[in-house]
Structure 1
Amino acid sequence: MDHFLATLISEDIAQDFAFAFLSVLFEGLPFILIGTLISGFIDVYLPAKTLDKLLPKNRWLSIFTCGLLGLIIPVCECTVVPVIRRLIAKGLPLGSAFTYMLAAPIVNPITFMSTYTAFANEPLGIALSRIALGYVVSVSVGTLILFVPIETILKRNIIDRLHFSGVGHSKQDGTCCHTHQHVIPASHKYVAAMRTAVRDFLDVSVYFVIGITLMTIFKSAANTNSLLNYLAEDGRLLESTSFMIALSFILSLCSTSDAFVVATSFERLSRVSKMAFLVFGPMMDIKLMLLYQSMMKMRAVLMLAVLLFILITASCLLWGNIYVDTLEWVEQLTKGGSL
């Protein structure tokens, strides 16, 4: 039996697994720590009604605004989840919160610069297109969430901590559903913020470790060379796009570095499939699915994954046609040809 296990789990596979697991762990944990520290200070120092004053009163304008907040507050996908948990508890509307959560890892200057640098042949076109598609998809999801009751999305413990503005919303039994925050002395606020950060860090880290463990198992066992040759053939645009979305889900790369992997490892595939990878990955992957589950019901997470798959596939296919036509138009303009 021991000999069988030794042959099944070779030393090379074990080393590859350990290297991949630890690299993602050490890359992601510092960002989670930063995010949970921010969430702790948001919980203690941010008054519940501040967001109502800062964001537009119109819920549609609020969603459009939150889609651009990543340009001011750039965060990666690992950092944004604990921050969003606290912002929702402070009264940020759910549609606006989800828009920021999905858009911030893409619509931010750090991701733009990494994408610009990775795609040397057409850096500005790919980088700007990634931001535009990320914004459109995020705003679309946030708009749809406006029509979904929060009870079908958020877990009960998150809903119980919500701080609603004004008199709050009423439960079906007629009781007030908003919580009352105890006044914390100024001298104790720092300690309370750190305690909240520690709780959030431990809570989120459990899901993160499970997620990267599953991701590393798939990544270590995958051999995609022959499949890439097949998908690179003409007429397989939908198949290659679906494959790259699935691959982005499994690899769980950080949005600040995934462009380099796509640009160097998948040259044979189409722009559309690579763009789908760059947009879907920062919004939904294995580790994110587990992180989302720290505040969302599992059914809601799965529905979000399906919705993102449909929206990103459709938008990237449409973008491909427009982008190619634009490149041809620019080429003709540059050469002085007739338009």
Structure 2
Amino acid sequence: MARIATIWAIFQGLLIEALPFLFIGVLIAGLARWIAPGGRWLQRLPDQPILAPLSGAALGFALPACECGNVPVARRLLAGGASMGSALGFLFAAPVLNPIVLASTWAAFPDQPWLLAARPLGALLVAVVLSGVLQRLPEGQLLERSLLAERRLSQPLAEASLLERKSGVLGIPTPPRADPSRPSLRTVLEHSSREFLNLAVLLILGSLIAATVQTLLPRSWLLAVGGAPTLSILSLMLMAVVISVCSSVDAFLALGFAAQITPGALLAFLVLGPVVDLKLLGLFGVIMRPKAIAITAIGASVVVLLLGQWVNLWLL
């Protein structure tokens, strides 16, 4: 019974922490759909391998949402025809670059200026690498089916054929997309409500899994190797995935054990968690297919491990 009570307490904490940011993300996506239904400004975002993810990451400075709230916004970017690189850059880097997270990192570690610079730079590096790797997959293998259909409807004919758009003589006729009318506020609210409920269900499942694993895998086991250069990084990466704490407060959590671990392990915890954790894996399902999610998890882990190793060589 004690373990069940612990799981329930952790589950409630994760859910209460994440739901407001999920609501903010859905609200932002809904407003974008209502204010700019055609998404033409999204199609003007750069498409270069480096500049695209950096421009997407820069959007995070204006959006006060953590990784859960960024999922519906990133989905809206992709559905509206934004370049793949900019949308992925936003998805992976914005959870660290938003003002709340930057302020919380500074408040938790004011005496470690290297960390205040290394965390956002590490997030940008992960975003650029993941964007480049994932874009090697065809969109049909990368994006979830319904999102892919929405995206193709918003692309010019030069980029998506009539058959791909499911229009013309071989498919189902659809209204012209060149100058879409603004949907009614009621339509936007209904769409956003459905999206929020669907994402909330996934968030609940992810939080329950994270709470269960976190209870069965005590943190003391992971902190036991805190002084080992490589094992400390691996253990804190695993902790970041398991704990699944929101990026807006993870710095204060890390402050509690920062003295017991290596600098590279601390950075690994703060960079990997906002990209890959147990509660996020379900939410990613509304954007990416399982193969792409697996590539994201593996790619982010490799980059963060190398980054942590480099920091340990530099500071130890």
CA distance in 1, matches of 2:165, 2:111: 55
Between the aligned partners of 2:197 and 2:289, the Cα distance in structure 1 is 19
1:217 correspondence with 2:208: no
1:3 paired residue number: none
Other-structure match for 2:266? 274
Please tell me whether residue 113 in structure 1 is matched to residue 107 in structure 2. Answer: no
Tell me the C-alpha RMSD between the 2 structures.
2.2
Deviation, 1:170, is 3.9
Name stretches of at least 5 consecutive residues in structure 1 with no aligned partner.
1-9, 326-339
Asked if the contact 1:252/1:286 (under 8 Å) is kept, the reply is yes
Amino acid aligned to 2:165: C
Runs of 5+ consecutive residues of structure 2 not aligned to the other structure: 167-173
Q: 2:65 aligns with which of 52, 58, 75?
A: 75
1:130 to 109, 112, 119: 119
Q: Distance in 1 between matches of 2:176 and 2:69?
A: 25
Q: Corresponding residue for 1:329? A: none
Which residue does 1:169 correspond to in 2?
Answer: 159
1:151 aligns with 2:140: yes
Paired residues of 1:36 and 1:197 also in contact (CA < 8 A): yes
Q: CA deviation at 1:180?
A: 4.5
- Distance in 2, Cα, partners of 1:57 & 1:301: 22
2:226 matches 1:206? no
2:256 is the counterpart of 1:264:
yes
How many residues matched? Answer: 306
Deviation at 1:120, TM superposition (A): 4.2
TM (norm. structure 2) is: 0.89
Name the SS for the 1:166 alignment partner: coil
Question: Match of 1:177, as an amino acid?
Answer: R
Does 2:13 match 1:23? yes
Superposed, 1:184-263 pairs within 5 Å as 189-229=184-224, 231-233=225-227, 236-263=228-255
Tell me what 2:41 maps to: 50
Give the whole-Å Cα distance in 2 for the aligned partners of 1:145 and 1:106. 20
User: Whole-Å Cα distance in 2 between the matches of residues 128 and 251 of structure 1?
Assistant: 24
Residue of structure 1 in register with 2:171 after alignment: none
Q: 1:288 to 1:136 in 2, by over 3 A?
A: same
Name the counterpart of 2:54: 64
What do residues 63-114 of structure 1 show as CA deviations (whole Å, max 9, x unaligned)?
Answer: 2222222123342101000111111010012221111111001112221111
State the 1:199 CA deviation. Answer: 1.3
CA distance in 1, matches of 2:253, 2:185: 40
- Between 1:29-38 and 1:300-309, the stretch displaced more is 29-38
TM-score between the two structures when normalised by the length of structure 1: 0.83
The runs of at least 4 aligned residues of structure 1 exceeding 3 Å deviation read: 56-60, 178-186
Q: 1:5 aligns to what? A: none
1:312 aligns with 2:301: no
CA distance in structure 2 between the partners assigned to 1:66 and 1:120 by the alignment: 27
- For 2:175 and 2:240, the matched residues in 1 are separated by 41
CA 1:166–1:114 in 2, change beyond 3 Å: closer, same or farther?
Answer: same
